[in-house]
Structure 1
Amino acid sequence: MTNTFLNYKAATLFLLSIFPWIQKTLCIICFCEKHCSENQSSGSCEVKSGGHCFVAVKNIWEPEKGEYIQQWTSGCLSSKKIGCIAADIQGTGTWTQMLLITDYHENGSLFEYLQAKILDKTALLKICLSMAAGIAYLHTEIFGTPGKPALAHRDIKSKNILIKRNGECAIADFGLAVRFSSKSGTIDAVSDIRVGTRRYMAPEVLDQTLDVTSFNAFKMADVYSMGLVLWEACRRCTTDFRTSVVDFYSLPYQDVVPSNPSFEDMKLVVCVKRLRPPMPTRWESDTVLYSLRQTILECWHQVPGVRLTALRVKKTLSKLYINNLNNTIDDKNIIV
């Protein structure tokens, strides 16, 4: 990878020539802190700048140029603070590399985080609330300057949610996102309904009944996937702050489908049998987890129109978060 991953100083000078507004901390990218991981089409690495700021760099090859453009435009439109920089940089010979540079989150993905950590109520609600807030923001069209179209992610899963240093979530990987603008009334063309991660696909995606002319249909599919991620996080939360008894980490449907399930595997479980991941009985005796249980049930409902919107989930979790903080303070005062 060393010979092909560019001279970073030259790359930075090129970036500055076309993006003069790049933050000063990214002006001189000095070296790769770690070797880039590489698969068939893309890789990522951590880069340290002259200002001691770590960033994440996704390296996308020519065959995935469409995904690169989609991730860049979706990401930059999603937030004014996302810190998303991209450029086509000519390498050696005819080789062309596209870089997607974003904030680096050292805690990794929620998938990794949940396997290593036990959550208390505050940490759990911070994860759930920030995830719901992020998805609600994506789903919302913003008018004015700068505005943004509404976005549906289409691949919500714990591996595509990053954990920031403060414990909040950041939604990642917009390669499959679709955009909707009410001004033009158009949705990005969708060549295939069944894209994303099969384990997290909504029933209407698995049985291909999703209405591709309705942007709301794409949003409801995101909400179903979000419900599964909420379930993953809740399993790792204690029911009593005095103990550390939790459920082991599990992927959704881990007990009923193979590690790499086919479309037919998932369709049988989700659409035909209408199964959902089991809710631990211990949640029923806990106020926070029981409330989250009710929210999850409404997120992954079989009928898309019955599901909650991401905004409704955000508002519900916001109230739950505030109430939990107040109760935590009261409990500490009682102990003292």
Structure 2
Amino acid sequence: MSNAALLKQAMQYLDLTGVALAERVSALREDDKRTAPETISRWLNGTNPVDPFLMGWITELVRSKVGANIQPMVELPKDGLIIAVVNPKGGTGVTSLCINLAATAKSLHMKTTYMYAEYEDARGRAQIVPKLLEPLWIKCPNLSPEKILGYRPSIGEIVLVDVSNHLASDSFVWPSPHDSSAPPKVDPKGFLDRFRPDLYLIPADLESSLDVRATKRFIDGDALHAPKWIVHRPRSMSLSFASVVAREGMDISSELFYPYFIPQAVSTSPPIPRDMLSDWQDEDQHHHHYQLLDAALNKLGGRIVESYALQLEIGRMDLPGLLELVEKTSAPRRQPA
């Protein structure tokens, strides 16, 4: 990018007009001469080369503003990500986890989309969740399961797919009731066998033998064609979950389990912000879901770069790098309907 183009982009970021820049440059001059706005215009249109002193000064102005307003930045391992939340057993918190992760991603200024994978005639929840997420500028397209299967995220987009327990359960051919210990067989026409997200999150209360048994049976069905994590969502604080998991033949220390837990919120009200200008209504829930999103990104090869680490990088960046960082970390503007 030419110095003229860099100067123009920097002026836009600094909210400087040509006249304002000319006045500020004139105030810096030691020869008591003035820099005319026409000089700025000639720099911007490439008629004259931009003064190197000016470029250095502009760089430091941009660096100062970026450093004062920096926020965590997300680096995705690929252009876009799909994270699916699923458990055929009802009542494990699939939708709550999905909603909270979507709000967490949006708080990091990510291009965020929530999708509810459910049969067309059972999409009542599809009307409720958008009322919570759309005020946060989270896209909630009403897509059929078939269209979700074909969805490809755009660059920088993270998609959270809430898979209904009906759709998940119908992805298997289940054994007869008298053989309840046998794993189900995958239905090749089912949703899960054809779905290819980047990561599956499987919420369950690991203190409940019923939850653990159902979750193990689900995983043993071998329909999840992506890395997966079981996320412990306890209803109460207890240390018995490790023994419960062991009794069902699983190892809590294995890579199958997310290494932390997310306690279920005491309040029945959603913990997420009410709109883009509001804070989280439950900061503890925000912390837990931020930690989960950070760990999920790391598992897939991405990361959340915290503000302190960015400050160190900012001190070493040139003007093109600073302006690129501005583009990555700026909150997106809402597109008109």
TM-score range normalised by the length of the shorter chain: under 0.3
Higher relative contact order (CA 8 A, sep 6+): 2
When normalised by structure 1's length, the TM-score is 0.21
Computing the radius of gyration from Cα coordinates, the structure with the larger value is: 2
